[in-house]
A and B are shown apart, each in its own frame.
Chain A
Amino acid sequence: MAKAWEVPGLRRRSSFAEAGGRVILTRWREMMSSREGTLLGEDIEELHAMRVSSRRLRAAMDAFAEAFPARSFRRHLREVKAVTDTLGGARDLDVAIERLQGLLPQMRPDERAGLEGLIERYRAERAAETASIDALFRRLDAERFGERFERYVRRHTGVAVEKLNPVAPPAAEG
């Protein structure tokens, strides 16, 4: 699993709202850093990393929900949930295909045709998921969701993403 980005400036003495701003904006940038790789679709781990980050972002939003006005917060949370759910559909198929392929050698020869047929079906469904992911990001771009989200978090927590400047941890050597 991709390592979570460190949250810059998060301290024991931070206020609840400030901590919320720092954590949420870090997780937001962390999630969006996998966007290009996910859309490229060459490495299933990119999509996995983006999904994991989106779940971390949702968890952070749940944790700090009370720092925001309930109604407007729900609207933003809904969009983040749309990202998690859309990526989830593709990820579930990636995992299912990988698992079935791993199981194949353990199955009796007469049982393999069923697994191969199922893998074939999931592959076709997975191809359709890529189009859904692409459509979702196009919509979020058209609605300038990223800019609006960052401004919204700043307004209620006082944390600006430009000053926070969260960055990916250095890649592990090996």
Chain B
Amino acid sequence: MAKPRPVAGIRPKKGLRPNARRVLAARIEEIYAYDGLIADPAHVTELHDMRIAFKRLRYLLEIFGVAFTEDLDPYLEQVKVLQDLLGDIHDCDVQVPMLEDHLEWLAAREAERAQELVAAGVRRRPSRSANGSERAYRRFRGELEGALRGDERVGIHALIARRRTERDQLYLRFLDEWRRLKRERFRPRLEAALGL
């Protein structure tokens, strides 16, 4: 996660407003630094970092709102829309690898169980009759099939497919919103409201 850059020129004993302006200007700049990078949906890290940058700006607008005369709520709302969309994209980006990891976890549990069954079979005394051997084999096969968790994979694959589709749709919505923000001159309007 990109750390917030230190803000130069803060004078703690001076008023809230001039200092808040400096902090806010730095955080607005951080968001727009991602502009060229998020045009590629595969830039997962940059999209995540931009979400964090939006989140920081949102909290700062809430915290410093008291220092400004202009109502910052409309700007806050727009920031929140973008932050939420990027948050939903991030959820998909995190969940898909988690679900893939779960598939591997299921396979590992199956392998462990199969090994336990084989080890238990080896410890059992072999049957002398053909019928006994056949029964033992059928029991072993039944236990092994019971241990296989293949039926659980169907649902996990379905979830992965769902998340990938959602991610594609969310990304397109995010790009629309981001372009709209720029078209509507969000940054210059916000900067004017803050007296920057």
Q: Could you list which residues of chain A lie within 8 angstroms of chain B, going by C-beta atoms?
A: 4, 10-17, 19-20, 23, 55-56, 59-60, 62-63, 65-67, 70, 96, 103, 107-108, 110-115, 117-118, 121
* Majority secondary structure of chain A interface residues (helix, strand, loop or mixed): helix
**Number of residue pairs spanning A and B whose beta carbons lie under 8 angstroms apart:** 100
Nearest A residue to B151 via CB reads A113
Per the bound structure, the CA–CA distance linking A113 and B105 in Å amounts to 15
Other than the given A13-B16, A110-B151, 18 more pairs (CB < 8 A) read A15-B12, A15-B14, A15-B15, A15-B16, A16-B20, A19-B67, A56-B59, A59-B59, A62-B59, A103-B159, A111-B158, A113-B154, A113-B155, A114-B151, A114-B152, A114-B154, A115-B159, A117-B152
User: Contacting A121 at CB < 8 Å: which of B55, B62, B105?
Assistant: B105
* Majority secondary structure of chain B interface residues (helix, strand, loop or mixed): helix
Q: Output the least CB separation between B3 and chain A (Å).
A: 9
Q: B94-121: which have CB < 8 Å to A?
A: 95, 99, 102, 105-106
Decide if B16 touches A14 in the complex (CB within 8 Å). Answer: yes
Nearest A residue to B8 via CB reads A66
Decide if A112 touches B12 in the complex (CB within 8 Å). Answer: no
Decide if A12 touches B149 in the complex (CB within 8 Å). Answer: no
Decide if A118 touches B102 in the complex (CB within 8 Å). Answer: yes
Decide if A63 touches B23 in the complex (CB within 8 Å). Answer: yes
Decide if B60 touches A19 in the complex (CB within 8 Å). Answer: no
B66 within 8 A of A: yes
Which B residues are in CB contact (< 8 Å) with A55? 59
Which A residues are in CB contact (< 8 Å) with B102? 118, 121
Per the bound structure, the CA–CA distance linking A16 and B99 in Å amounts to 46
B51 within 8 A of A: no
Decide if A117 touches B10 in the complex (CB within 8 Å). Answer: no
B156 within 8 A of A: yes
Which of the listed residues B12, B64, B66 has the most CB atoms from chain A within 10 Å of its own CB?
B12
Given A63-B60, A63-B64, A118-B102, verify A16-B14 contact (CB < 8 Å): yes
Decide if B154 touches A59 in the complex (CB within 8 Å). Answer: no
User: Contacting B159 at CB < 8 Å: which of A10, A11, A12, A114?
Assistant: A114
Q: B50-72: which have CB < 8 Å to A?
A: 55-56, 59-60, 62-64, 66-67
Decide if A16 touches B155 in the complex (CB within 8 Å). Answer: no
Which B residues are in CB contact (< 8 Å) with A110? 151, 154-155
Which A residues are in CB contact (< 8 Å) with B23? 63, 66
